[in-house]
Structure 1
């Protein structure tokens, strides 16, 4: 089902649709409701769960996500892959129903169950029609999966075998090798630097799954995000229904702070024809005060596709790579800033020098007025695409809820982008990026 081969995982699984409800829900999913404004309601349920709700009656659909502080950073040392495997097997049997029976019941209701795991969180999301029969049936099944998972040994053995096979295959691919090495070089033994291995996955037992589930899937650390065709009163009942039977839970120790790496270059031998190059350093947390200057600046540097500086310098002027990109990945602790590209082995050194020179020049000079204006316009114009469906709105809402971002985060996004100045971009990049901490990983480089 889901390979445990990525250091930064966001992986989803879905159940199939069936019958007439398939057609209705699939057609509705293509509709694009217009969100003139996003009114986010927030409260803490009696069981301690934090609830975030957007009421929308544009479509007869309900989307719900329940997240927990149960991501890969909570894997014990030597047990990387435990968080992902626990989440993976929540629906493999629950409340006396095996996985086939669960899948059939979701399908008969026209509902879709999905899972998400990354470094910080893990959980489940549900999409269902908002009509009473379908909504109540789907929510009851979700509650069963969340509160009564059984983790059958046969399913664990099967998924371990699949994961191990995927890991062995990934260990032959230069992009996967490079991604793991990059995370390791940035974070060392910090939980963000660990990746699942054949050995760590092989060691996972059913008792380990149960222990991880009981410790982390608790009401006091549940974040319930609800978007769709229900009232506030119904949303309050849904939140209590989904997390009401979970234990309150004991406090967790915080994730360790990130120690900034020392600059280094790691070369990994591989027979591939192309070199895979990763350049970056840990930079941003969720809610970082420099978020908007860094995002606007990154659009200009390497996040804007064909209009970015890196693309112009690396691809258009010199033909070193078809694609070169950069991004900031914010997490609970500082997530990575990454520049990535693939290029012919013989020109890897030249391509890397162009990347480094382009970055250094951008940090020193900042953006031009024309670049800044275009970046702000494109980011604001693309903003509506973040909210053009209940599902996308749910993804943003769950992020706001899990990381405790301001409730006006979405509503004020355009004006905060528009307020970014060239001086702010230059200052943020100068302060937050440092050659002293910049790590370079080159797979298949000469």
Structure 2
């Protein structure tokens, strides 16, 4: 199917997006409170992102600790090294392993009894990590809020940091890593990160290697927890059928046991600017290709980046890369390229191809030609209209649930932007002119500097 077909489909979405904007402007859709609140705990003003919703009698509280993510693994370890030379020295997988251990319940009750305690009141409690954060996410019925908070506090005070539990989660982690050796997309992506983010905290896989996981001790886990479970790293995200002052007072009391600690220093990660290639040989009947390029844009220009990314390769069928590589020439089963431009830590473009072994070189060549033409000539009015239609039309779909709305506010806060910045970006996209977007595209030829990772036949 041609690009015109997909533009027609996207055209339908512009009606939805336009209707949404009209309703919003006329107050038919209630406006979100975008003001950041604070909970004062032991003299620390802890940020609180809150949204009240009484549609159903449930609540959600998430404790987010900055500095607990995988990019901090090396400095969170007990015996950290200033310049780790490999995944083992960097203690790669520490954050991932620590969150797995925190999901093993409390030391007093153990995994099964603690899980049974939560289940008895239909409470869900999950601990996870991202690149920057460690998060405790608990959801509950309104009537069981106090019980749920008590369980969360128990976990924070009495995590199951025993050698037995550590060995269990290490075994699971190593088994997962070994299984990933046969996931050739994962292999290609991991190898790409090793060259593209060389000499940065993103060089190593977030789950680590078998060797690095083996090297992580109980002391490393305890150091990680003491470093991160502190008030000066805490962001609270809460919402549901609760009153804001009620939850402020309760959290101030329940979390007063946390030490003050120190805020993390957020790194600025510079990916590779000089292209490099890496090849891995596996028993495969097709080629797996992952590629990435630097992207140097300001966070406040992310609305332009979204349009640029959508047209070039992030929109699936109808995007330039998919249209040229798969639809017109049949050189790949899938083709994708997306630009990450909204981070204050690292920005870059990343994509992938799955191709036949005999067409991999041609497919990459076409991608490079498409990207060169994209930088040289920009996009058409038709493509801009299609991008606007989709981005405007899909905005309400990304905020259907309370969790989605709270999460997007958290992402804005983490980037030092207003909590409602995503809505401001949508308004800017609606008024974006063809000249503005093409001038922006022309200023970013750095996306042509592709580093490439191949997995191909032996």
Q: Normalising by structure 2, what TM-score?
A: 0.84
* Cα drift, residue 45 of structure 1: 2.1
Q: Secondary structure at the match of 2:389?
A: helix
| CA 1:160–1:416: 2 relative to 1, 3 Å | same
Matched, 1:229 2:234: no
Partner in structure 2 of residue 343 of structure 1? 355
Secondary structure class of the residue paired with 1:269 = strand
1:333 to 330, 345, 357: 345
1:72 corresponds in structure 2 to 70
- Equivalent pair of 2:48/2:237 in contact (CA under 8 Å): yes
Shift of 1:256: 5.0
SS at match of 1:440: strand
For residues 375-426 of structure 1, give each alpha carbon's deviation from its aligned partner in whole angstroms, at most 9, with x where no partner exists: 1111111001111011212221322233332122143242122122333333
Unaligned runs of 5+ in 2: 1-27, 75-83
User: Quick check: 1:308 aligned with 2:308?
Assistant: no
- Residue-by-residue CA offset, 1:182-236 (whole Å, 9 max, x unaligned): 1111110200111211111001111110001101121111111112111111231
* Corresponding residue for residue 250 of structure 1: 262
Counterpart pick for 1:40 among 12, 25, 34: 34
Distance 1:433 1:212 in 2: 40
Query: Is residue 409–residue 419 contact of structure 2 (8 Å, CA) maintained in 1?
Result: no
The one-character-per-residue Cα deviations of 1:252-285 (angstroms, maximum 9, x if unpaired) are 3442542543112222222211111112223368
Deviation at 1:247, TM superposition (A): 0.8
Residue 52 of structure 2 corresponds to: 55
Which residue matches 1:443?
455
Relative to 1, partners in 2 of residues 1:126 and 1:358: Cα closer, same or farther, differing over 3 Å? Answer: same
Deviations 1:75-128 (A, max 9, x none): 114200001111221132326221112211111111112233221112121121
Size of the aligned set, in residue pairs, is 410
- Equivalences for 1:158-307 in 2 at 5 Å? 158-195=168-205, 196-241=208-253, 243-255=255-267, 257-258=269-270, 260-283=272-295, 288-307=299-318
The equivalences for 1:309-324 within 5 A come to: 309-324=320-335
Name 1:6's counterpart in structure 2. Answer: none
Aligned to 1:366: 378
Greater radius of gyration (CA): 2
* Range with greater deviation from structure 2 (307-316 or 90-99): 90-99
Q: CA deviation at 1:331?
A: 3.9
Q: Cα RMSD (Å) of the superposition?
A: 2.1
Correspondence for 2:15: none
Deviation at 1:36, TM superposition (A): 3.5
Question: What does residue range 14-33 of structure 1 map to in structure 2 within 5 Å?
Answer: none
Q: Contact between 1:278 and 1:338, CA under 8 Å: does it hold in 2? A: yes
Q: Secondary structure at the match of 1:226?
A: strand
Aligned to 1:21: none
Q: Contact 1:38–1:411 (CA<8 Å) still a contact in 2?
A: no
